[in-house]
A and B are shown apart, each in its own frame.
Chain A
Amino acid sequence: MRSLIKELSDMRAISGSEYRINKEIAQMFMPYADEVRIDALGSVIAVRECGIENAPNVMIEAHCDEIGLIVTDITDEGFLTFGPVGGIDARILPASVVTVHGKRDIEGVIGIKPDYLLEEGKSVKMKDMAIDVGMDAAEVRKIVSIGDGVTLPQSVGDLGKKQFSGKTLDDRASLAAVIEMMRRLKDKQLNVNVYACAHTQEEVGCRGAKVSAFGIMPDMAIAIDVTHGVTPDNSYNAFPVGQGITISLGPNIHPKLSERLIKTADDNHIKYALEVDGGETGTDAWEIQIAGAGIPTALLSIPLKYMHTSVETLAVSDVKALVKLLVNFIEGQEGDTQWLKL
Chain B
Amino acid sequence: MKLLEKLTMADGVSGGEDAVRDMIISEIKKYCDDITVDAMGSVIAHKKGKGKKIMFAAHMDEIGVIATFIDDKGFIRFSNVGGIYTKEILYSRVRFKNGIIGVIGAEEEEFNKKPSLDKMFIDIGAKSRAEAEKYVSVGDTAAFAGGYTEQNGVVIAKALDNRAGCYILIEAMKKLKRNKNDLYFVFTTQEEVGLRGAKTAAYAVAPEYAVAVDVTDTGDTPEAPKMAVSLHRGAAIKVMDRSVMCDVDVREAMIAAAKKAKIPYQMEVLNIGGTDAGAIHLTRAGVKTGAISLPLRYMHSPSETASIADINACVSLTAAIADTL
Spell out A's residues near B (CB within 8 Å).
15-17, 19, 39-41, 70-73, 81, 83-85, 127, 145-147, 201, 204, 207-208, 210-212, 214-215
Q: Which of B267, B281, B282, B287 contacts A145 (CB 8 A)?
A: B267
A59 to nearest B CB, angstroms?
13
Binds A, one of B8-16, B126-134, B239-247: B239-247
Known: A71-B269, A127-B226. A85 touches B284 (CB 8 A): no
Q: Which of A83, A145, A214 contacts B271 (CB 8 A)?
A: A83
Residue of A nearest to B239 (CB): A147
| A70 cross-chain contacts in B, Cβ below 8 A | 239-240, 269
Residue of B nearest to A83 (CB): B271
Known: A40-B288, A72-B227, A72-B228. A146 touches B282 (CB 8 A): no
Q: Which of B239, B269, B282, B285 has the most A CB atoms < 10 Å from its CB?
A: B285
Residue pair A147, B240 in contact (C-beta under 8 Å): yes
Asked if B139 is at the interface (CB within 8 A of a chain A CB), the reply is no
Residue of A nearest to B243 (CB): A205
The answer for the CA separation of A83 and B208 in the assembled complex, in Å, is 30
Residue of A nearest to B255 (CB): A145
| A147 cross-chain contacts in B, Cβ below 8 A | 239-240, 251, 267-269
Interface size class of B (residues with CB under 8 A): 20 to 34
| B287 cross-chain contacts in A, Cβ below 8 A | 40
| A83 cross-chain contacts in B, Cβ below 8 A | 269, 271
Q: What sequence of 0s and 1s flags, for each residue 229-260 of chain B, a beta carbon within 8 Å of any chain A beta carbon?
A: 00000000001100001111001000000000
Q: Which of A41, A73, A214, A215 contacts B228 (CB 8 A)?
A: A73
| B271 cross-chain contacts in A, Cβ below 8 A | 72, 83-84
Asked if B83 is at the interface (CB within 8 A of a chain A CB), the reply is no
Q: Which of B226, B239, B267, B285 contacts A39 (CB 8 A)?
A: B285
| B147 cross-chain contacts in A, Cβ below 8 A | none
Spell out B's residues near A (CB within 8 Å).
208, 226-228, 239-240, 245-248, 251, 266-269, 271, 281-288
A interface majority secondary structure: mixed
Residue pair A41, B226 in contact (C-beta under 8 Å): no
| B284 cross-chain contacts in A, Cβ below 8 A | 211, 214-215
Residue pair A212, B245 in contact (C-beta under 8 Å): no
| A41 cross-chain contacts in B, Cβ below 8 A | 247, 281, 286, 288
The answer for the CA separation of A39 and B247 in the assembled complex, in Å, is 12
Residue of A nearest to B249 (CB): A19
B interface majority secondary structure: loop
Q: Which of A85, A146, A207 contacts B267 (CB 8 A)?
A: A146
| B248 cross-chain contacts in A, Cβ below 8 A | 16-17, 19
What would 18 A/B residue contacts be, using CB atoms closer than 8 Å? A15-B245, A16-B248, A39-B285, A40-B281, A40-B287, A41-B288, A70-B240, A72-B227, A73-B228, A81-B226, A83-B271, A208-B286, A211-B283, A211-B285, A214-B284, A214-B285, A215-B284, A215-B285
The answer for the CA separation of A215 and B228 in the assembled complex, in Å, is 37
Q: Which of A41, A127, A147, A214 has the most B CB atoms < 10 Å from its CB?
A: A147
B200 to nearest A CB, angstroms?
15
Residue of B nearest to A70 (CB): B269
Residue pair A146, B285 in contact (C-beta under 8 Å): no
Q: Which of B271, B283, B288 has the most A CB atoms < 10 Å from its CB?
A: B271
The answer for the CA separation of A15 and B242 in the assembled complex, in Å, is 12
| A212 cross-chain contacts in B, Cβ below 8 A | 285-286
Additional A-B contacts beyond A40-B285, A41-B288, A73-B227 (4; CB < 8 A): A40-B287, A146-B239, A147-B268, A211-B283
The answer for the CA separation of A71 and B227 in the assembled complex, in Å, is 11
The answer for the CA separation of A211 and B247 in the assembled complex, in Å, is 14
The answer for the CA separation of A84 and B287 in the assembled complex, in Å, is 24
The answer for the CA separation of A204 and B274 in the assembled complex, in Å, is 13
Residue pair A16, B245 in contact (C-beta under 8 Å): yes
Residue of B nearest to A15 (CB): B245
Q: Which of B246, B269, B284 has the most A CB atoms < 10 Å from its CB?
A: B269
| B228 cross-chain contacts in A, Cβ below 8 A | 72-73, 146
Q: Which of A19, A71, A72 contacts B226 (CB 8 A)?
A: A72
Residue pair B269, A211 in contact (C-beta under 8 Å): no
Known: A17-B248, A70-B269, A146-B267. A207 touches B282 (CB 8 A): yes
| A16 cross-chain contacts in B, Cβ below 8 A | 240, 245-246, 248
B209 to nearest A CB, angstroms?
9
| A40 cross-chain contacts in B, Cβ below 8 A | 208, 247, 281, 285-288
The answer for the CA separation of A39 and B281 in the assembled complex, in Å, is 12
Q: Which of B247, B286, B288 has the most A CB atoms < 10 Å from its CB?
A: B286
Closest 9 CB pairs of A and B: A16-B245, A215-B285, A147-B239, A211-B286, A40-B286, A146-B267, A73-B228, A41-B286, A83-B271
The answer for the CA separation of A17 and B246 in the assembled complex, in Å, is 9
The answer for the CA separation of A147 and B247 in the assembled complex, in Å, is 12
Q: Which of A81, A83, A145, A212 has the most B CB atoms < 10 Å from its CB?
A: A83
